Structure formats: C-alpha cells, structure tokens
Amino acid sequence: MLDAFSRAATAADASGSFIGGTQIATLKTFVAEGNKRLDAVKAISTSASCIVTDSVAGMICENPGLTSPGGNCYSNRRMAACLRDGEIVLRYVAYALLAGDSSVLQDRCLNGLKETYAALGVPTGSMARAVAIMKACAVAHINGTNGDRGPQATNNTINLGTTAKGDCSALASEAASYFDVVSTSIS
C-alpha cells in the first residue's frame, strides 16, 4: 500500500534520484491542502450508509428486474450482499482519497474482483451503475452541493458570504477518478 508520499519515494528509488523540485512542490500542495482532504474523507465516511443505500436503490429503480424473482438482488440475503459490496467499494475509495493514491483500492479491493463477480454470476453492468451513482453522490457531498442535510466538506447552507466557501473541486475530481478506476476494473 502506498500513499502520495511513499509513491514519490518508490518512484524516485526506481531511478536512484533524490525527491526534489516539482515532486516536493506537489507534496507541499498536498500538505497545504491537507485539511480539505480530511474534510472530504469525513464527508464521505459520515454519510457512507446514505451514499451506499441511495446508489443501490437507484440501480434497482432503473432496473426493477433485479429484485424480481430470478433477479440478482432477489431475496434479502442477496440484497444485503449487494449493499455490503457497495459499502466495501466506498470504504476503499475513502482510503484511496485519504492516501492520495489508488494503490490501496487496487491491491485490497479490485484485484481479482472482476473474476470473483464472474464466478458468482454478479452482473457487473449493474454494479458499475451503482458505482456511478455513488460517484455522483460522493462528489456532491465533497462539494457540499448535496442539499442542506448531512455533514459536508464545504458547507453552503451557512451564510458566511461568498469567500467563506472552500474550493474542494480538486478533491471531488480526485475522488471521482477513484470511482472511475472501480468502474473500469469491473467492466
């Protein structure tokens, strides 16, 4: 497992060079923007249950066959397994966002997941759809555009003037990229 810092060290070690110049500048930005990152992770983590449930419910609304007899979410046991898997994916995305690197997501979650789903007969298209909804949901929570409920990285409901709202768009797109990694990996 790597984070942004150990990723830089591993890359530099491969060529036997020191970490300096632009790499240090990138890491300094990471440090300076650290609190935003922690807020973003918190925004996802504290609303995890909501994000996961919404995405699985959305996936089923678009494709009601899933919960009908013969569907892959038919029976509470399979629906529960689906919700559990959604939570696992979101948890590893939260780890990746905290680390600033996708290696934890790749190594511990996605490695072999596609093959496992193929063996168990899980429809990966539906799973990818749930991940896409999760992505939209998580981005909204990080940007604070998810309405006026729940903890937010940038709270737009308190009127602090236009300058008070932090810009978390960089972190939102970083989080989105991790969801894309999941989609690509299982499709």
Partner 1 sequence: MKSTITTVIAAADNAARFPSASDLESVRGSLERAAARMEAAEKLAANYDAVAQEAVDAVYKVNPQGNLGRQPRVCDTEGKDKCKRDFVHYLRLINYALVTGGTGPLDELAINGAKEVYAALSIDAATYVYGLNTLRNRGCAPRDMSAQALAEYNAALDYVANSLG
Does residue 104 bind partner 1 (CB under 8 A)?
yes
Rounded to whole angstroms, the Cα distance separating 33 from 48 reads: 23
43 vs 73 by CB, closer to partner 1: 43
Interface with partner 1 includes 44 (CB under 8 A)?
yes
Q: Which is nearer to partner 1, 27 or 71 (CB)?
A: 27
Based on the shown chain and the rule CB under 8 A, indicate whether residue 1 belongs to the binding site for partner 1: yes
39 marked ligand binding residue: yes
Q: Min. distance of Cβ 74 from partner 1 in angstroms?
A: 26
CB of 80 to partner 1, least distance (A): 15
Is residue 133 within 8 A of residue 144, CB to CB? The reply is no
Q: Give the list of residues 6+ apart from residue 132 with CB closer than 8 angstroms, or none.
A: 179, 183
Is 72 one of the annotated binding-site residues? yes
98 contributes a contact to partner 1 by CB under 8 A: yes
Based on CB atoms, which residue is closest to partner 1, 28 or 118?
Answer: 28
Task: Tell me which residues in 127-186 interact with partner 1 (CB under 8 A).
Answer: none
Query: Is residue 5 within the footprint of partner 1 (CB under 8 A)?
Result: yes
Task: Identify residues 11-40 at the interface with partner 1 (CB under 8 A).
Answer: 12-13, 16-21, 24, 27-28, 31-32, 34-35, 38
Q: Which residues bind partner 1 (CB under 8 A)?
A: 1-3, 5-6, 8-10, 12-13, 16-21, 24, 27-28, 31-32, 34-35, 38, 41-42, 44-45, 48, 91, 94-95, 98-100, 104, 108
